[in-house]
Amino acid sequence: MASHRKSRPTGTRMAGIRTPALATAALTSVALLSQSANAAPEADDKPSLEEVEKKVDDLYRQAGSATEKYNAAKEKTAKQRKRADALIDDVAKRTQKLNEAREELGSFASAQYRTGAAAPDTATFLLADTPQDYFDQTQLMDRMTGRQKVAVDDYIAQQSETMTKRQEATESLEALTESQGDLKTAKATVQRKLADARELLSKLTAEEKARLAAIEKEKQEEAARKAAELARQQAAQQQAQEEAAQQDSGSSSSGSAGSGSSTSTAPADSSYATKADKALAFARAQIGKPYVWGAVGPGSYDCSGLTQAAWKAAGVDLPRTTYDQVNAGTTVPLSQAQPGDLVFFYDDVTHVGIYIGNGMMIHAPKPGTYVREESIYYDGESAIHSVVRPA
């Protein structure tokens, strides 16, 4: 009987013991790898709130830069269109004069054909009834030949000038086409940057938007603190100037000290203060109007459109773009900034506001906002590029 009993395969049993342990370890590894694979894309695809804020700020700044390029291209296009129109009009007038000169030449040719006029010769002399008749014919032909020569010279000159102006008109139209292309490109860039910024913001949750608003509030509070600090510095500087002026006036007359004090508070150039007051009055009247890129008023503005319009109200013509406005005046230290001065921002000079004193300015910030008063430190101290006195 024992010979019929089946022996247990020890190798199989041992394998049976080991197999579950290996399977469990393998399954565990697969699960962990699967979790890691699933978690990694989510972590990579979801930027932090700080990254979103920086990206949105960068996009708005890039949109501002593209807006100034659009403004420059628009201004250039308008000038070139005006020049092209003037050249085309000039070509039309010159063509008319050319046609008139051609007609005058034709009239001489017709007259010669009708009269059979030719250079005087022996036959003409013999055909003349009297020497006086020949003399009269000769004088007439001489006069006709002289007038014809003038007409020919005039025609040649008109033709040359017309061809030159036609070439200039052609080149001007080509330049206009190029500027229109630049204008279209700049416009598309602005629209794309703004769309990207809106898309990023649209992906934020309500909680993230609230946190972003809190971060922005902290930035504004810090900007206000910096503005107050600048205001204290400027007040101290002004007080020192007043005291120095009082000492100077006191050396000549103690009774004139009060008068010296009243005049020392005014800017060195009182005419500038008068103009600045008008510019600021205009700027304050625009508070609450929306920022619209490329706009110059009266219903909406971009940053340089606002400063240009404000100073125009004071009788000062500023260029259209920030790139040109920054060179349209005298650069002064920030510590000596006066109301009416223009404050420029960023290394590429793509934003500008009008200083109102005490570290504050009026500006049109960016799309989605309105003209408002704000600290010049609204984007940090490092963002300030320069201060320019435009008049």
Element spanning 60, H or E: helix 49-115
Digit-coded pLDDT (tens) for 221-259: 999 999 999 999 988 888 888 888 888 776 655 554 444
**Orientation of helix 303-313 relative to helix 270-285, angle to 10°:** 130
pTM across the whole model? 0.68
Element spanning 343, H or E: strand 342-345
**Residue 303 among the catalytic residues:** yes
Tokens describing residue 308: 């240009």
Q: How far is the C-alpha of 111 from the C-alpha of 238, rounded, in Å?
A: 88
**Residue 157 among the catalytic residues:** no
Digit-coded pLDDT (tens) for 341-369: 999 999 999 999 999 999 999 999 999 89
Could you say which of 61, 193, 320, 363 is catalytic?
A: 363
Could you say which of 194, 303, 361, 376 is catalytic?
A: 303
Could you say which of 351, 366, 385, 389 is catalytic?
A: 351
Residue pair 280/373 in contact by the 8 Å Cβ criterion: no
Digit-coded pLDDT (tens) for 135-157: 555 554 555 566 666 666 777 77
Query: What's the rounded mean pLDDT across residues 267-276?
Result: 81
**Residue 351 among the catalytic residues:** yes
pLDDT for the residue numbered 187: 93
Residue 340 has pLDDT above 50, yes or no: yes
